[in-house]
Structure 1
Amino acid sequence: MSILGKCPYCDANVVSKKITAQGKQIKLYSCENAKKEYDESESYVFTAEATCTFRVYSNAFMRWNKRSFSQYEMKKLLQDGQAIIRLHGRKGTNEYFKYVITDKTYGVSILWDEEVEEKKEDEVK
């Protein structure tokens, strides 16, 4: 488990850990205060002690053909308040760049209306 930065909502540490979801290994980036557990009905819910809800799964952008939101991108997002990500068209041939910001409801959101002026190769991994 590694610390990636400070939570945008409660200033606790955001950590990265490997989990298995639907049979695939992915990374979960979550605030240390956003703990979840299975309840009696087998639903995955925040614990009674959870004081934050910031959680992002590395496969958050799968439907835009981005296999993984990397630790580097998450660190950049926590540090700068936004990150640039590379997405791909349906056939996987054309690529385009968009800004990502934190989102209270979904963890992260793509800014569809904002054009990325010039992509800096060191920002896009």
Structure 2
Amino acid sequence: MILGKCPNCDGDVIAINTIAQNQKVVLYTCENSKKEHDDSFQFVYTNDSTCNFRVYSNVFLKWNKKGFSKYEMKSLLDNGKVAIRLYSKKIKGEYFKYAMLDKDYGVSILWDEEVQ
């Protein structure tokens, strides 16, 4: 499933069902970002990989957001940012922040701006 254009290289961003850290997740990756296991079983980019855009659907798990949906990723690729719902155990409630595209990490939370 093609979700949009890669912000790094203008290739297609696709969704792939995979397993990471023994959990089923969706990997949103550029079609030009290719990885494989090397001799020491590390996951490394291949020689023909020309992009490094990759975002796992559990990227916001640290802030108690169970998953980053395909709809949210598509909206992020189309608009450059998307409002996401997070949950705080400390305040025992939910709050909203913007997630935005990040060249190094794929996606980051914009902590300084409030969601309208």
Distance 1:91 1:20 in 2: 30
| TM-score in terms of structure 2 length | 0.96
Equivalent residue number for residue 105 of structure 1: 104
Equivalent residue number for residue 96 of structure 1: 95
Equivalent residue number for residue 27 of structure 1: 26
Q: After the TM superposition, which parts of structure 1 deviate over 4 Å for at least 4 consecutive aligned residues?
A: none
Distance 1:13 1:105 in 2: 18
Aligned to 2:76, the other structure's residue is in SS state helix
Equivalent residue number for residue 122 of structure 1: none
Structure showing the higher strand proportion among its residues = 2
Distance 2:104 2:89 in 1: 26
CA root-mean-square deviation = 1.1
Q: 1:41 offset after TM fit, Å? A: 1.4
Any unmatched runs of 5+ in structure 2?
Answer: none
Letter of the aligned partner of 2:24 in structure 1? Q
Any unmatched runs of 5+ in structure 1?
Answer: 118-125
Q: 1:90 offset after TM fit, Å? A: 2.0
Provide Cα deviations, 1:18-61, integer angstroms capped at 9, x if missing partner. Answer: 00112211000000001111111111011110100000000000
Equivalent residue number for residue 115 of structure 1: 114
Q: How many residues align?
A: 116
